[in-house]
Amino acid sequence: MSSAPRPHYTAFRSRFLAGDVLLGTFVKTPTAHANEILGGVGFDFVVIDEEHAPFDRGTIDLALLGARAGNIAGLVRVSDTGRLLAALDDGATGVLVPHVDSATRAAEVVALCRYRGGQRGFSNTTRAGGYGGRGIWQHVDAQDSEIAVIAMIEDPHALDHVEEILATPGLDGAFIGRGDLTVALGASGMESPETRSAAERILAAAGKVGKPICIMVASAAEAADWKALGASAFIVSSDQGLMRMMAAKVAADFAPLAKAPA
């Protein structure tokens, strides 16, 4: 029985904007292999975590190459906006930008990621430009249409401006940073009433301006809950978390053998 071919990784932005249900995970191990595997099993995207994992320009470059090999959208969570250009030139399909807490900040981020009407430094001799294979305006148009720019809303004071932030032209959507919100709010956990209220406030604002939302979840059941509230892209664990989960299961399955008589 044949199955429909998977969408090309460059379709991520259009699928995200259309509100398609998308499955991704964080990648924290500086290698290309995890992305190839995740693409091979059917994940839609990975977020290469430059903010909280040991990635540098070289390892991000290799990880993005692995994403292309696995036909999976490779996004990069940058540690600061000074890292955006490198990620995009190396072939990122999109970026997650932490701590976007105002419309002014959102507009600055968008400008750094867009050519037309923006301030992105030009080069088409990069992986993103086919190493010179794309002409100037072919490269400009392709990048401006394919790159997803996603703001991370994770600061309590951003909630008072969330509709303005999400309405920023050129900003494609937002990721709800429940971890940071939980810590900043002094809440008991990500499912606390305070954190949930903040997340629902962001989702409501996104609905008003027609922007998609990505959120991290622990399971498909939890994703269904947030989908009912308007989220459409879901990040589950990380490459390290998934490996730890499976390794723990295998270790538990084998534990009785050590106790069994020879």
Backbone angles phi, psi at 45, to 5 degrees: -155, 160
Q: What is the pLDDT of residues 113-160, one digit of tens each?
A: 999 999 999 999 999 999 999 999 999 999 999 999 999 999 999 999
CA angle 38, 210, 120 (to 5 degrees): 65
- The residues annotated as belonging to the active site are 52
156 located within any domain: yes
pLDDT tier for residue 1 given thresholds of 50, 70 and 90: very low
144 located within any domain: yes
Q: How far apart are CA 168 and CA 119, in angstroms?
A: 16
2 located within any domain: no
CA atoms within 13 A on the CB side of 188: 3
Q: How far apart are CA 245 and CA 25, in angstroms?
A: 14
51 located within any domain: yes
How does the average pLDDT of the chain come out, rounded?
96
Total domains in the chain come to 1
> Which residue spans within 193-249 are E strands per DSSP?
213-217, 233-238
Q: What is the pLDDT of residues 72-106, one digit of tens each?
A: 999 999 999 999 999 999 999 999 999 999 999 99
Are 110 and 149 spatial neighbours (Cβ–Cβ below 8 Å)? yes
pLDDT, position 2 = 42
186 located within any domain: yes
Token pair 């692995």 in the structure block, residue = 66
pLDDT tier for residue 260 given thresholds of 50, 70 and 90: confident
Q: What is the pLDDT of residues 34-73, one digit of tens each?
A: 999 999 999 999 999 999 999 999 999 999 999 999 999 9
3 located within any domain: no
Are 113 and 149 spatial neighbours (Cβ–Cβ below 8 Å)? yes
Q: Which domain holds residue 94?
A: 9-259
pLDDT, position 7 = 95
Q: How many CB atoms lie within 10 A of CB 27?
A: 27
* CATH number of the domain to which 23 belongs: 3.20.20.60
